[in-house]
Amino acid sequence: MLLPAGRTYLCGTIRLKPNVDLYIETGAILKGTTDGNAYGPERVLITAIDGSNISISGPGTIDGDSPAWMDRLEGDIFKAKPGRPGLIYIRNCTQVNLVDVTIRNSASWTVHLIGCEDVLIRDIRILNDLRVPNCDGIDPDHCRNVRIANCFIQAGDDGIVTKNTRDFAHYGPCENITVTGCTIISRSCAIKIGTESCGDFRNFVFNSCVIYGSNRGLGIQLRDYGTIENVIFSDMVVGTELHGPQWWGKAEPIYVTAIPRTAETKLGRIRNIQFSNIICRGENGVFIHGWQNHPLEDIVLDNVQVEIGKWTTYPGGFYDTRPGIHEGVYEHKTAGIFIRHASGVELRNVKVSWGENPPDYFGSAVEVHDVIGLELDIFKGQAAHPDKDMDRIIE
């Protein structure tokens, strides 16, 4: 299916059948209509269900016209109108290719893949308004064997986020995922596993990415019964900063949490997670937080540099554990590395440093509570205010 160059094609939902390549030529724009009645039950511009060999490619543009679906600004986030559509929704398909296209102005999730296998996403641009809520970049949901490479993603919510949503649990685990060579800016978490975790996540590699201007950098959020295991983050530069309180996160460059969603939740596990060769610069430190009797297991930080400074006008000195039954957003001194409820944590060749004129709420280099088997091997750093705070707080 060819969209020739130099024209704008206004339409509602397009359904791709098996063995179809939607090819958008240079200068061609596929634009979503503002007529809500033109969209199908999935409320998306492009969809494919129960097929194989599905492709969307070419150097043209897909435009969701998000301004038409936004109401007013509330703080630094839009309030969305009812019925806003997403852009690409592919469910229960194999051999899926999304290559070269520019995707912009999504009013909701941009690329949602559900129960798909053998997926290649390469050399695409996602250019969303950073003030639009829930306009995630790429969401592999209960997917297997996914490769995402060399993409630029600007999203007002999570950039790349793997999920196991409850409604699609019958599609099985999310596993065998690689992300390489991407540049991401996000108002939530740039690269995340979770928060929806109704199923297992395993065998993920995230490598050679650059993150900047994001509310959170590298995140793992377990809130349900799934297990998250065998994950490597490596060779990255991560820049985070504070944004408005509507967005989850408080500028943590690395964030790993396991907290029950409700009092009835049977919480899963997080284990075998490695962060290596990562340079972090942000307005908060690394935050690692398990749950009583459900500790995080075997977490390694190897050759990780954490520089913490203050440059935005948003208030700091908070941690954010939303969603869940925990405190939510609560005030706490900022530590370089904060760890609670974990076992088998290793800090190898880790350095914590502070920017100029650190505020009073900047605290210790390392703060640890209820951690079994903590190993520090070549750790460099001291408290932001050595005359007031301990270099390390270990309980």
Return the CATH number at 96.
Answer: 2.160.20.10
pLDDT at 127: 98
pLDDT at 294: 85
Can you tell me the distance from the alpha carbon of 349 to that of 303, in angstroms, rounded to the nearest whole number? Answer: 5
pLDDT at 327: 74
Number of folded domains in the chain? 1
pLDDT at 75: 87
The 3-state DSSP class for residue 67 equals helix
Asked whether residue 42 is domain-assigned, the answer is no
Quote the DSSP letter at residue 12.
Answer: S
318 close to 332: Cβ distance less than 8 angstroms: yes
pLDDT at 108: 97
Asked whether residue 244 is domain-assigned, the answer is yes
Asked whether residue 237 is domain-assigned, the answer is yes
What are the tens digits of pLDDT across the range 291-302?
Answer: 988 899 999 999
Asked whether residue 30 is domain-assigned, the answer is no
Asked whether residue 6 is domain-assigned, the answer is no
Q: Which domain holds residue 201?
A: 49-394
Q: Which residues of the chain have pLDDT under 70?
A: 390-392, 394-395
Q: What is the DSSP string of 105-150?
A: --SS-SEEEES-EEEEEES-EEE--TTSTT--SEEEES-EEEEEES
Q: Return the H-helix or E-strand segment holding 199.
A: none
Asked whether residue 28 is domain-assigned, the answer is no
Could you tell me which of 374, 256, 349, 328 has the C-alpha nearest to residue 393? 374
Asked whether residue 16 is domain-assigned, the answer is no
pTM over 0.95: yes
pLDDT at 159: 98
pLDDT at 118: 98
348 close to 337: Cβ distance less than 8 angstroms: no
The 3-state DSSP class for residue 221 equals strand
pLDDT at 394: 66
What are the tens digits of pLDDT across the range 258-292?
Answer: 999 999 999 999 999 999 999 999 999 999 999 98
Six token digits for residue 283: 């307005």
Asked whether residue 69 is domain-assigned, the answer is yes
Share of the chain above pLDDT 90, in %: 94
Q: CB within 8 A of 207, min separation 6: which ones? A: 178, 179, 180, 181, 232, 233, 234, 235, 236
Could you tell me which of 293, 287, 394, 301 has the C-alpha nearest to residue 350? 301
Q: Between vectors from CA 304 to CA 301 and to CA 310, what angle results, nearest 5°?
A: 120
pLDDT at 296: 97
